[in-house]
Amino acid sequence: MEMKENMDKRKILFVCLGNICRSPAAEGVMKKLLEERAGGTDIVVDSAGIGPWHAGQLPDSRMRRCGARRGYRFDSIARQVGHEDFTRFDIIVAMDGDNVKALRALARSEAERRKIVCLSDFFIENRHCATVPDPYYGTDSDFETALTLIEDGCRGLLEEIS
């Protein structure tokens, strides 16, 4: 996998559709994993959304509650991904295939496209899952499932880049 070639990368951007459910949760999970890990503070983590619909908002209250039950604090402010993110970040982690396609369309070069990966590529316990499904129109159970997958993918990603 190309990530092996880029193990020195230290800036990660998580991206989902609106930046209020999955990507801010991934940002919060990764930040907590880094806090718990000695020497992990040199990794910068952020999140963004494909679209502008929720820019300026906190993460969805259902995801914040779900995260709080597991000891996370999801409090980033939603923003839209932009061209500058391909310069600022070394790894751009999409939550699903549609996000990957949208990011590839936004990328201006093959080098930028190589930065795009899908979180499911790093699943350890849930390798049978191809994506982190969007829980926005779902139930609390859907948020729990998404967070479980995000935790798994973040652990796998951290192992890959450490």
* Residue 121, CA distances (Å) to 6, 15, 142 in order: 15, 14, 20
Active site residue 16: yes
Active site residue 134: yes
Q: Secondary structure of the chain in the HEC alphabet?
A: CHHHHHCCCCEEEEEECCCCCHHHHHHHHHHHHHHHCCCHHHCEEEEEECCCCCCCCCCCHHHHHHHHHCCCCCCCCCCECCHHHHHHCCEEEECCHHHHHHHHHHCCCHHHHCCEEEHHHHCCCCCCCCCCCCCCCCCHHHHHHHHHHHHHHHHHHHHHHC
Q: Can you read off the two tokens belonging to residue 71? A: 């000891």
Which one is catalytic: 22, 60, 118, 154? 22
Q: Catalytic one among 46, 60, 96, 134?
A: 134
Query: Is 129 designated active site?
Result: no
Check if the beta carbon of residue 68 is closer than 8 Å to that of residue 40: no
Selecting among 16, 66, 118, 154, the annotated active-site residue is 16
State the catalytic residues. 16, 22, 134
